């Protein structure tokens, strides 16, 4: 058959010099595609005599195979070249030593908040949030603190400015995270298990009080939740948080309008030699307020108190941070003094988790 040699050299040369995969594909179609030159030649076999066909057939097949394998080889070579190019441009030296710049640190309040969340997540609690500028209703009324209730005075509330003649109740900077109880149950109903960390505000300032501080609220509502569950939960938390096995808690009868019964909770500690130790000694330090959620609070949130019950508690985040990490003055937390931040701050890589450790 005529012209096979020239076909062969034409295609093998073009394949060898194809610049990329799409040029290669064009060549494949032109040679061995359905209407390619080699395929068209194959069709001529039918018109030949058997003797002619015996020579031309194998020759054509050989040509087709040769072109196909040249195509495959070139395709692989092009792929390798593309990969080499990527490896060259995306190269990084992973053996370079790290350059710790340590320009910033995680504030102890953020770190402790993450620790609290990790521990309660492990107990099946999710995180809820509410606004810091709160209505009088959510901060007080819905929590069974009527306008003339004496406990309102204890909150040293910051009131938002109101225009002259505006007689609507003023908004406040929330004095505690308890309003999140109402907001959460209104929106998501019960049963529920949440913690609500965040900023709260009271007009107070000394070594252990700042006008802005951090609390987290705990709320657990179900059909048969009791004070015993509350105590277990708080002990479990304290053991994990303070990393002390012998933690001991004491419930002291107290009063909050939104819980009944109410208890303040103290933790056993010693101050021997000016050093605070938890889980030993004869001193007790208050760390939180708690109780069984008052039926009126459940009602205010649209929950039937004949069917549902549960506990709530509020804990100072800054306060437990001071206890755990030995920081003596709360005011320093919010001074933005770089030396303090570098000393007490945490590395951004120290994410607290239950399996990796939460002791910072």
Cα dihedral 187, 188, 193, 195 sign: negative
Residue 290 beta carbon to ligand PHE: minimum distance, rounded to whole angstroms: 5
88's enclosing H/E stretch is: helix 50-89
Is residue 233 near ligand PHE by the rule CB under 6 A?
Answer: no
Q: Do residues 155 and 172 lie in contact, with contact meaning Cβ atoms separated by under 8 Å? A: no
List the interface residues with ligand PHE, window 1-20 (CB under 6 A).
none
Contact letters for ligand PHE, residues 28-57 (x by CB under 6 A): ------------------------------
- Taking every pair of Cα atoms in the chain, the longest distance, rounded to a whole number of angstroms, is 117
Residue 286 beta carbon to ligand PHE: minimum distance, rounded to whole angstroms: 10
Q: Which of 130, 257, 291, 310 binds ligand PHE (CB under 6 A)?
A: 291
- Give, in degrees to the nearest 5, the angle at Cα 240 between 235 and 242: 90
List the interface residues with ligand PHE, window 200-229 (CB under 6 A).
none
Rama region for 241: left / alpha / beta (φ>0; ψ in -120 to 50; rest): alpha
Residue 240 beta carbon to ligand PHE: minimum distance, rounded to whole angstroms: 20
Count of helix runs (H) and strand runs (E) in the chain: 11, 10
> Nearer to ligand PHE by C-beta: 66 or 186?
186
Q: Residue with CB nearest ligand PHE?
A: 314
> Nearer to ligand PHE by C-beta: 111 or 259?
259
> Nearer to ligand PHE by C-beta: 314 or 352?
314
Q: Do residues 157 and 169 lie in contact, with contact meaning Cβ atoms separated by under 8 Å? A: no
First to last CA, the chain: 84
Contact letters for ligand PHE, residues 147-176 (x by CB under 6 A): -----------------------------x
User: Which DSSP category does 188 fall into?
Assistant: H
Rama region for 288: left / alpha / beta (φ>0; ψ in -120 to 50; rest): beta
Is residue 259 near ligand PHE by the rule CB under 6 A?
Answer: yes
Size of site (CB under 6 A) for ligand PHE: 10
- Region of 79-87, 90-98, 116-124, 309-317 interacting with ligand PHE (CB under 6 A): 309-317
Cα dihedral 258, 263, 269, 271 sign: positive
Residue 109 beta carbon to ligand PHE: minimum distance, rounded to whole angstroms: 17
Residue 201 beta carbon to ligand PHE: minimum distance, rounded to whole angstroms: 11
- Phi and psi at 124, nearest 5°, equal 90, 20
Is residue 313 near ligand PHE by the rule CB under 6 A?
Answer: yes
> Nearer to ligand PHE by C-beta: 27 or 145?
145
Buried b (16+ CB within 10 A) or exposed e, 194-212: bbbbbebbbeeeeeebbee
Using CB under 6 A as the criterion, which residues of the chain lie in contact with ligand PHE when the complex forms? Answer: 176, 178, 256, 259, 289-291, 312-314
């Amino acid at each position: 058959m005529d012209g096979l040699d020239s076909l062969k050299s034409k295609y093998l040369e073009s394949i060898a010099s194809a610049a990329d995969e799409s040029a290669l594909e064009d060549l494949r179609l032109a040679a061995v595609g359905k209407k390619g030159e080699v395929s068209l030649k194959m069709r001529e076999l039918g018109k030949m005599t058997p003797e002619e066909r015996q020579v031309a057939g194998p020759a054509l097949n050989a040509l087709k195979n040769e072109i196909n394998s040249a195509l495959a080889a070139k395709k692989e070579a092009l792929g390798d070249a593309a990969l080499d190019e990527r490896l060259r441009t995306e190269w990084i030296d992973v053996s370079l030593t790290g350059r710790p710049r340590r320009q910033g640190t995680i504030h102890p309040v953020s770190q402790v908040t993450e620790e609290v969340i990790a521990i309660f997540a492990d107990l099946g609690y999710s995180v809820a949030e509410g606004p810091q500028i709160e209505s009088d209703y959510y901060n007080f009324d819905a929590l069974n603190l009527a306008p003339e209730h004496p406990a309102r005075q204890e909150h040293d509330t910051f009131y938002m400015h109101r225009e002259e003649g505006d007689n609507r109740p003023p908004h406040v900077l929330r004095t505690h995270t308890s309003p999140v109880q109402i907001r959460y149950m209104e929106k998501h109903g019960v049963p529920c298990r949440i913690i609500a960390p965040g900023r709260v505000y009271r007009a107070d300032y000394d070594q252990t009080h700042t006008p802005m501080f951090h609390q987290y609220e705990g709320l657990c509502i179900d059909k048969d939740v009791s004070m015993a569950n509350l105590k277990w939960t708080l002990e479990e938390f304290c053991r994990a948080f303070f990393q002390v096995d012998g933690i001991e808690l004491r419930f002291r009868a107290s009063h909050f309008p939104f819980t009944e019964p109410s208890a303040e909770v103290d933790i056993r500690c010693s101050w021997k030699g000016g050093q605070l130790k938890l889980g030993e000694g004869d001193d007790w330090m208050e760390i939180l307020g708690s109780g069984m959620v008052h039926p009126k609070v459940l009602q205010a949130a649209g929950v039937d108190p004949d069917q549902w019950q549960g506990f709530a508690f509020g804990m100072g985040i800054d306060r437990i941070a001071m206890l755990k990490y030995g920081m003596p003055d709360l005011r320093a937390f919010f001074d933005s003094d770089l030396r303090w931040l570098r000393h007490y701050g945490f590395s951004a890589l120290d994410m607290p988790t239950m399996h990796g450790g939460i002791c910072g």
